Amino acid sequence: MAQVYRMDLLQNALASLCDSLEGVRAAVIVSIEGFVVASYPPGDESFAEGGSTSSSQVAAMAATLVALAERTLARLEQGGIERMLVEGRDGIMIVIPVSDSAAIAVLLEKGAKLGVALHAGQFAAQRIRHILEGSLVV
């Protein structure tokens, strides 16, 4: 029987998410400390056309945004964070918490179908949560 590593399962979950959506530039699983757990495309390759954005930079920024959003929602008594969307002129970043210790950040092109991406992201977050908890059976 072949041995399956957790990192391979995480990479496959990200690849499945990215392959199922049009307009995805990249996806990163980030720890709350801002470290890359896994990324798609794999490695620390540049995501932006100019080569100025890497998976480690996305991880650090996403972790910072999640921490700020959690504090803001708590202060405003709005409950826990479910997802976060940051939209710019040239693209969109969706951040979806996976657990208390990790989140997914997905970078999308401006014309991507947002509803489909949010739904696929929630599904991927559940799958990744099970992988990180060790409860996903292959």
- Residues paired with residue 84 on neighbouring β-strands, in sequence order: 95
Extents of the domains making up the chain = 6-133
Tell me the pTM: 0.85
Fold of 6-133: Beta-Lactamase (3.30.450)
Residue 109 sits at φ, ψ, to 5 deg, of -70, 160
What digits encode the pLDDT tens for the residues 37-46? 999 886 555 5
Residue 47: predicted pLDDT? 55
What digits encode the pLDDT tens for the residues 62-107? 999 999 999 999 999 999 999 999 999 999 999 999 999 999 999 9
Contacts of 92 (CB under 8 A, 6+ apart): 85, 86, 107, 108, 109, 110, 112, 114, 117
